[in-house]
Structure 1
Amino acid sequence: MLYNYFQNISFAYPWLLPLLVAVPVLAWIHYSSLRKKKSSFTVSSAQHFKHRTAKNYLINLPFWLRLLALACLLLALARPQIRDVQSRNKGEGIDIMLCLDVSTSMLSRDFSPNRIEAAKEVAIDFVNSRPVDRIGLVAFSGESYTLSPLTTNHDLILQQIKSLRCGMLQDGTLIGEGLAKSVERLSSVGAKSKVVILMTDGKEEPPKTRIIDPLMALQIAKAKGVRVYTVGMAGTPEQQRANAGVLGTTSNLDDALLQRIAQETGGAYFKARDKETLQVIYSQIDRLEKSSFERITKTRVEEQYFYLLIAALFFLLLEALLRYTYLRTFP
Structure 2
Amino acid sequence: MKRRDTLRQRTGQGPVIGPAEEVGVSSLYDRRTGFKFAMDYLFPWLLFILVMVLIAWGVHLYIRELPKKVVLQHPIALWFLIALPFLAFYAFRRAKARNPNFKYSRLALLTSIKPGIRSYFKTLPPTLRLAAMGMLIFVFARPTFINVYEESSEKGIDIVIALDVSLSMEARDLSPNRLVAAKEVTAKFIKSRPNDRIGLVVFGKYAYPYCPLTLDHRAVDRLLMRIKLRSIDDGQKTAIGEALGTALVQLERSKSKSKVIILLTDGDNNSGEMQPMEAAKYAAALGVKIHTILMGNPNDKSGGLGFFFARAPVNPKLLEQIASTTQGTAYQAIDKAALEQRFNKILDKMKKTKFSHKYRTKQGIQGRFLLFAIILLFLELLLSITWLRRLP
TM range (shorter): 0.5 to 0.7
- Partner Cα separation in structure 1 for residue 254 and residue 318 of structure 2: 27
Q: CA deviation at 1:112?
A: 1.1
**Cα distance per residue 1:165-215 (max 9 Å; x no partner):** 111122211100001100111002221110000010141113xxx321112
Provide the aligned C-alpha RMSD in A. Answer: 2.3
1:139 maps to what in 2? 202
Q: Which moved more, 1:212-221 or 1:115-124?
A: 212-221
Q: CA deviation at 1:107?
A: 1.0
Instruction: Give the one of 199, 221, 241 matched to 1:158.
Output: 221
Q: CA deviation at 1:288?
A: 3.9
1:265 maps to what in 2? 326
Q: CA deviation at 1:289?
A: 3.8
Q: Are residues 218 and 232 of structure 1, via their aligned partners in 2, closer, same or farther at CA, if it must alter by over 3 Å?
A: same
Query: Partner amino acid for 1:188?
Result: R
| Higher relative contact order structure (alpha carbons within 8 Å, sequence separation ≥ 6) | 1
1:174 aligns to 2:235 (yes or no):
no
Query: Partner amino acid for 1:148?
Result: C
**Cα distance per residue 1:238-269 (max 9 Å; x no partner):** x4247575488623222121111111101100
Q: CA deviation at 1:158?
A: 0.3
- Partner Cα separation in structure 1 for residue 185 and residue 330 of structure 2: 17
Q: Percent identity?
A: 36
SS of 2:268 mapped into structure 1: coil
- Partner Cα separation in structure 1 for residue 327 and residue 268 of structure 2: 21
- Partner Cα separation in structure 1 for residue 175 and residue 304 of structure 2: 12
1:219 aligns to 2:284 (yes or no):
no
- Partner Cα separation in structure 2 for residue 175 and residue 289 of structure 1: 25
TM-score normalised by length of structure 1: 0.57
1:235 aligns to 2:297 (yes or no):
yes
Asked if 1 retains the 8 angstrom alpha-carbon contact of 2:158 and 2:260, the reply is yes
- Partner Cα separation in structure 2 for residue 133 and residue 175 of structure 1: 24
SS of 1:150 mapped into structure 2: strand
- Partner Cα separation in structure 2 for residue 229 and residue 135 of structure 1: 15
Within-5 A mapping of 1:60-75 = none
2:212 maps to what in 1? 149
- Partner Cα separation in structure 1 for residue 152 and residue 345 of structure 2: 22
Instruction: Give the one of 106, 121, 126 matched to 2:189.
Output: 126
Query: Partner amino acid for 1:162?
Result: M
Q: CA deviation at 1:149?
A: 0.6
Instruction: Give the one of 341, 347, 368 matched to 1:280.
Output: 341
In structure 1, runs of 5+ residues without a counterpart are 1-87, 294-331
- Partner Cα separation in structure 2 for residue 249 and residue 121 of structure 1: 25
Within-5 A mapping of 1:240-255 = 240-241=301-302, 243=304, 245-246=306-307, 250-255=311-316
1:101 aligns to 2:164 (yes or no):
yes
TM-score normalised by length of structure 2: 0.49
Q: Are residues 288 and 236 of structure 1, via their aligned partners in 2, closer, same or farther at CA, if it must alter by over 3 Å?
A: farther
Q: CA deviation at 1:105?
A: 0.9
